[in-house]
Amino acid sequence: MLEAIVHRGPDDQGVHAVERMAFGARRLSIIDLPGGHQPIANEDGSVVVAFNGELYNYRELRSRLQAAGHVLRTEGDTEVLVHLYEDLGDDLVHELRGMFTFAIWDGRRQRMLIARDRLGIKPLYWSDDGDLLLFGSEIKSMLRHPSLHASLDLEALADFMLLRYVPAPKTMFEGVNSLLPGHLLTCDESGVRTRRWWDLSFAPASPQPTEAQAQERLLELLEDAVSSHMVSDVPYGAFLSGGLDSSLVVALMSRRLGRPVSTFSAGYEGEGEGLSELGYARMVADRYETDHHEVLIGAEDFVANAEQLVWHLDQPLADDACLPNLMVSLLARDHVKMALTGEGGDELFGGYPRYAAERLAPLSTRMPAGLHAYARSLAMSRPGQSRRRKAIYALSQPDEGVRHAVYAGLMHPDMRAELASGELLEAVERVPAEGAFAAPLARTDAIGQLNRMLYVDTQHWLPDYLLARGDKTSMAASLEARVPLLDHHLVEYAASLRPSLKIHGLRMTRKYLLRQVARDLLPAPILSRQKKGFPVPISIWLRGGARDFCRDLLAPDVIHRRGLFAPEVVARLLEEHDSARADHGTLLWALISVELWHRLYIDGDAAAQGRVACAGEDRRS
């Protein structure tokens, strides 16, 4: 099991095994290089921990524990967990600031405690067959255990087709669950249970700060978060896309360091050169005189790395930016061992166009049903899904959960039903479009369209999609990626602010307060540019250098043999994309991912898995 995740920790490994329990840990050494071997026990060996992540307040916790009489033998963050558990039991999680999953074995009580951090920055998967609890940071590790056999969860695939990711607690593997963010799992004589230990409240601050006060406080929290995330005993740097969030992180790092920040960016060559945004990253790099590095990516990189990428992701993720994230991680790993990223700003401060669109929902829901039907037909009148047509289709839906699914989704519900075939079509009919969002929408204390949408995105879009992508692609390169904008103090403050500080005025300026804070820190073009996410020329590649690769994997006989998708619909999508009648790039990548995932994980293609493993070993050398 540890061999399957050597990329997550190539520096060391350890195992703790007793009569009824065994767990192990791989280590990527960042803090306390000589003394951080895991698993780590308390003084008498009765409490043992295996830990993945970083605790940014471990020094304060160490001092407190030592003052209380605990003897700590190491200088790192892992050991504080066993002693906090001795003092506080399961409530230790409330004292932690950082990204983490950990498992604590309490030998006296014959009890396992497993925890995941508040925002789900670090992953944790588990399976319980009634006799055996399996868990791990990656599903591929769990599959090495002889009791677990890989099989497709059709309802998870139905969710994936709609949303572009599998919403937790589901995974694409039947019987394997994802532990939800901010949750604990316990296993003892009475069985396995999960419960929530943290949730994000959108209760407004009282009194609400003025704009000037909010700007001052936000800057203080940003500086504190970035500073705390820079604690390291190894060289580190930052990803720099040229967008507002990553640029702001680099600016704040530069103000704290007495040397240039090492920055890393990805761009495109050949067919996709026109989408490259390296110019914006260079503006920031030049302003702060960073030690800047770039990697150029082409269609041949997509073809060469697609299989490896799907293997590392564990399950399909229909995100064009997975490849540049992997490539920039590999670039960074040649220079540093840890990097800060800008993930989270959009979900805190309303950065996506869909947040502005949803403000029209109260008006839309009052329209007659006939107008809703007309809007849906208008949105589907042409092949493909532009951002505008997606918004029209979403606003034609009276159900809030369905709107959330459509705004950020891979395809609209009608398209999902058309594309599915056989048993998958039956699963699609069982899985409602709003299914993943009904529970969080019912649970949240957020009032108003924007805050309710932000809450839902912290529950699924962020952990199941963006953070999963970031963790898996950085760990594939044995690089630790930290996300200072998701420091929980900063997240909780942002949630307490009034919506007008996030999306502001008649022009609906998104991430308004964050832009105000960044005015004196970043070049003007960075502040004024429209959000484009991480533009990737995958649509261009699939018409050009990667066309044969795509056609081979989505050939009619392949689709027919797999039995999941309607071959004639897939053929139509390919033709529409080839002729440029529509842009199906992301959708075709999703279908490619599903086919590659089947070959790697379900068909048991040992040769393919061997090629992936060898590629990882060669890269690390």
- Cα distances (angstroms) measured from residue 119 to each of 53, 236, 244, 349, 607: 13, 23, 21, 16, 37
Average pLDDT of span 603-621: 43
pLDDT over threshold 50, residue 616: no
> Residue 617: what pLDDT?
36
Phi, psi of 389 (to 5 degrees): -65, -35
Taking alpha carbons only, the member of 351, 344, 340 closest to residue 491 is 344
Q: What tokens appear for 81 in the block?
A: 């967990």
> Residue 407: what pLDDT?
87
Report helix angle 488-496 to 211-228, nearest 10.
170
What span, in angstroms and rounded, lies between the C-alpha atoms of 615 and 432? 40
Q: What tokens appear for 491 in the block?
A: 């997240």
Phi, psi of 231 (to 5 degrees): -70, 120
Decide if 360 contacts 387 (C-beta within 8 A). Answer: no
Confidence bin at 360 (pLDDT 50/70/90):
confident
Number of Cα atoms under 13 Å in the Cβ half of residue 471: 25
SS3 115: strand
Decide if 99 contacts 117 (C-beta within 8 A). Answer: yes
| pLDDT tens profile 558-604 | 999 999 999 999 999 999 999 999 999 999 999 999 999 999 999 97
Average pLDDT of every residue of the chain: 92
Average pLDDT of span 47-70: 96
What span, in angstroms and rounded, lies between the C-alpha atoms of 119 and 539? 32
Confidence bin at 56 (pLDDT 50/70/90):
very high
- Cα distances (angstroms) measured from residue 411 to each of 147, 316, 385, 390, 620: 36, 15, 8, 9, 37
What span, in angstroms and rounded, lies between the C-alpha atoms of 70 and 81? 12
pLDDT over threshold 80, residue 457: yes
Start-to-end C-alpha separation, the chain: 21
- Cα distances (angstroms) measured from residue 293 to each of 284, 289, 356, 424, 449: 13, 12, 35, 45, 40
- Helix, strand and coil percent figures for the chain, each rounded to 5: 50, 15, 35
Average pLDDT of span 486-506: 96
Confidence bin at 618 (pLDDT 50/70/90):
very low
What span, in angstroms and rounded, lies between the C-alpha atoms of 268 and 298? 6
- The DSSP-derived string for 20-63 is S-EEEEEE---SSTTT--SSEE-TTSSEEEEEEEEETTHHHHHH
Q: What tokens appear for 555 in the block?
A: 């050939």
Average pLDDT of span 483-489: 98
Q: Which residue has the tokens 């200072």?
A: 484
| pLDDT tens profile 376-390 | 676 666 666 677 777
pLDDT over threshold 80, residue 498: yes
Phi, psi of 183 (to 5 degrees): -125, 155
> Residue 373: what pLDDT?
73
Chain centre distance of CA 167:
11
pLDDT over threshold 50, residue 508: yes
Residue type, 131: D
Q: For 480, which DSSP code?
A: E
What span, in angstroms and rounded, lies between the C-alpha atoms of 156 and 173? 8
pLDDT over threshold 70, residue 284: yes
What span, in angstroms and rounded, lies between the C-alpha atoms of 286 and 400? 44
Confidence bin at 239 (pLDDT 50/70/90):
very high
> Residue 506: what pLDDT?
83
Confidence bin at 328 (pLDDT 50/70/90):
very high
Decide if 248 contacts 260 (C-beta within 8 A). Answer: no
| pLDDT tens profile 67-103 | 999 989 998 899 999 999 999 999 999 999 999 999 9
Name the percent of the chain lying above pLDDT 90: 79
SS3 265: strand
Q: Is the model more confident about 196 or about 435?
A: 196
pLDDT over threshold 70, residue 186: yes
> Residue 451: what pLDDT?
96
Question: Could you give all domains of the chain from N- to C-terminal order, each with its CATH number?
Answer: 3-196 (3.60.20.10), 211-350+459-528 (3.40.50.620), 353-457 (no CATH), 538-620 (no CATH)
Chain centre distance of CA 383:
29
Q: Lowest-pLDDT range, 7-11, 230-234, 316-320, 522-526?
A: 230-234
Confidence bin at 116 (pLDDT 50/70/90):
very high
- Cα distances (angstroms) measured from residue 572 to each of 104, 415, 418, 559, 577: 52, 12, 12, 13, 8
> Residue 321: what pLDDT?
93
E runs forming strands in 69-132: 98-106, 111-116, 125-128
Strand partners, 480: 338
Name the percent of the chain lying above pLDDT 70: 94
Confidence bin at 357 (pLDDT 50/70/90):
confident
Q: For 231, which DSSP code?
A: -
Strand partners, 16: 23
- Cα distances (angstroms) measured from residue 17 to each of 20, 26, 53, 186, 308: 8, 15, 22, 18, 32
Q: Lowest-pLDDT range, 268-277, 446-455, 545-554, 586-595?
A: 268-277
Average pLDDT of span 148-169: 96
Q: Lowest-pLDDT range, 78-87, 119-128, 357-366?
A: 357-366
Decide if 118 contacts 488 (C-beta within 8 A). Answer: yes
pLDDT over threshold 70, residue 374: no
pLDDT over threshold 90, residue 25: yes
> Residue 381: what pLDDT?
60
SS3 250: helix
What span, in angstroms and rounded, lies between the C-alpha atoms of 55 and 32? 13
Q: Lowest-pLDDT range, 249-253, 413-417, 473-477, 519-523?
A: 413-417
Chain centre distance of CA 351:
16
Average pLDDT of span 170-187: 98
> Residue 397: what pLDDT?
81
Claim: this prediction has a pTM higher than 0.85? yes
> Residue 372: what pLDDT?
66
Per DSSP, helices labelled H in 237-396 are 244-256, 278-287, 299-313, 322-333, 345-349, 353-358, 361-365, 369-379, 387-395
SS3 270: helix
- Cα distances (angstroms) measured from residue 620 to each of 364, 476, 478, 549: 53, 10, 8, 26
